[in-house]
Amino acid sequence: MTSPLLPVFARAELSFEKGEGPWLYGRDGQRYLDFGAGIAVNALGHAHPHLVRALTEQASKIWHTSNLYQIPEGERLAQRLVENTFADVVFFSNSGAEANEAAIKMARKYHHAGGHPGRFRIITFEGAFHGRTLATIAAGGQAKYIEGFGPKVEGFDQVPLNDLEALKAAITPETAALMIEPIQGEGGVRSVDNAFLRELRALCDQHGLLLIFDEIQTGVGRTGKLFAYEWTGVTPDIMSIAKGIGGGFPLGACLATREAARGMTAGTHGTTFGGNPLAMAVGNAVLDVILAPGFLKEVEQKGLLLKQRLAELKDRHPSIVAEVRGFGLLMGLRTVVPNTDFVAAARAQKLILIGAGDNVVRLLPPLIISDADITEAFNRLDAACTAMEAELKTTAQPGAAQ
């Protein structure tokens, strides 16, 4: 059969009918341990009772009014984000790409409002992924996402990650901001040195630039802090978030200091669906859980346990796993074999993983996983590696099919 869906996704031959906690139940009758969480989206797992209750209660009241009117649930969520971060103001969107669009526009408008309209360029870093809009693919700079969509949107300059001298050389009188992910998720779970981030902050202060952190994948508890910047000793001026803040419901946000947002006055930006009552109810429910005493500390401890088990996996299977990367519950395995083969082998063991760049496989489990879930994931990873080793041995034998 020919699907009526636009064929832009290479979908696995697998679909799910329900989920519970860290588990997914396939229409094939099998149960799968979900260490992908919808690409770091289902922060609290599947069908979390507090989120289900918040959504259904709000759904019985009002779904949408538009931002022509006040939305008290949004005021509350914004206030909680402000109280728990560096930010003074929040703009709600439906996705991470939209949050990054707001961040980009905000940085440009900041300089325009300050009398410097010629300062509009934003420096980003090789391997970055900031979204799929025309502006955000230009910000990411990866040819595979840009090719075929006409001229690259002007105003973005890429430099190598962790290369301070290249960064300094790229700053010009037209530069408005630096934009970076504290950990590149799509780019291969590549961590940024804290010392490099501190240099970014110093350069921004020296040259009058804004510092933008893209915490769409690293934020909302994924690293054991509410946001990854809290580990670095560096405070951004603007921060984009999404994925985990909605716990599976489409929700993104752009957070900023009041100074950074000085150019964003009435009418300069907007959204029809962003910040609607349904999304706000779920976002508040997510924060109820993640900001509860002890929750983030448990995430930090689980991240350490997962990293230890993955190091053990690498030691046991050096012909399959080359390197362990990441922090908290954003972990990656750079594999010797093609990462797509590894994802398929894990799926055969009923374990869901996510691919990434640099031949890396991401492990992005829900933040509510237990130590027992981590052990179960290790056992399934171990079985997947053993199966792949056996296959490699078979193909390496004289006369084996090439």
The predicted-structure confidence for 280-303, as pLDDT tens digits, reads as follows: 999 999 999 999 999 999 999 999
pLDDT-derived band of residue 113, with 50, 70 and 90 as boundaries? very high
Q: What is the pLDDT of residue 216?
A: 98
Measured CA to CA, the distance from residue 194 to residue 182 in angstroms comes to: 9
Burial of 117 (0-12, 13-18, 19+ CB in 10 A): exposed
SS3 content of the chain, % helix, strand, coil (to 5): 40, 20, 40
Cβ neighbours for 146, distance < 8 A, ≥ 6 positions apart: 137, 138, 152
The pLDDT of 386-390, averaged and rounded, is: 95
Cβ neighbours for 391, distance < 8 A, ≥ 6 positions apart: none
Nearest to 136 by CA among 160, 153, 149, 161: 153
Q: What is the pLDDT of residue 74?
A: 97
The pLDDT of 66-72, averaged and rounded, is: 95
pLDDT-derived band of residue 398, with 50, 70 and 90 as boundaries? low
Q: What is the pLDDT of residue 393?
A: 87
Q: What is the pLDDT of residue 394?
A: 86
pLDDT-derived band of residue 1, with 50, 70 and 90 as boundaries? low
Structure tokens at 368: 């509510």
Quote the DSSP letter at residue 368.
T
Cβ neighbours for 193, distance < 8 A, ≥ 6 positions apart: 162
pLDDT-derived band of residue 374, with 50, 70 and 90 as boundaries? very high
What average pLDDT does the chain have? 96
Burial 141-173 (b: 16+ CB within 10 A, else e): bbeebbeeeeeebebbbbbebbeeeebeebbee
pLDDT-derived band of residue 402, with 50, 70 and 90 as boundaries? very low
Q: What is the pLDDT of residue 399?
A: 57
Torsion angle of alpha carbons 276, 279, 284, 286, nearest 10°?
-170
**Residues 253/93, Cβ–Cβ less than 8 Å:** yes
Model confidence over 173-232: pLDDT tens digits?
Answer: 999 999 999 999 999 999 999 999 999 999 999 999 999 999 999 999 999 999 999 999
Model confidence over 14-30: pLDDT tens digits?
Answer: 999 999 999 999 999 99
Tokens 């010797």 — which residue? 336
Neighbours of 174 (CB within 10 A): 14
Evaluate if residue 401 carries a pLDDT over 50. Answer: no
pLDDT-derived band of residue 395, with 50, 70 and 90 as boundaries? confident
**Residues 254/239, Cβ–Cβ less than 8 Å:** yes
* End-to-end Cα separation, the chain, in angstroms: 32
Tokens 């309209």 — which residue? 117
Measured CA to CA, the distance from residue 255 to residue 258 in angstroms comes to: 9
Model confidence over 33-63: pLDDT tens digits?
Answer: 999 999 999 999 999 999 999 999 999 999 9
Evaluate if residue 400 carries a pLDDT over 70. Answer: no
Q: pLDDT above 70 covers what percent of the chain?
A: 99
Say which amino acid occupies 110: Y
Model confidence over 134-178: pLDDT tens digits?
Answer: 999 999 999 999 999 999 999 999 999 999 999 999 999 999 999
Query: Please, what is the angle between helix 277-290 and helix 49-59, to 10°?
Result: 160
**Residues 223/330, Cβ–Cβ less than 8 Å:** yes
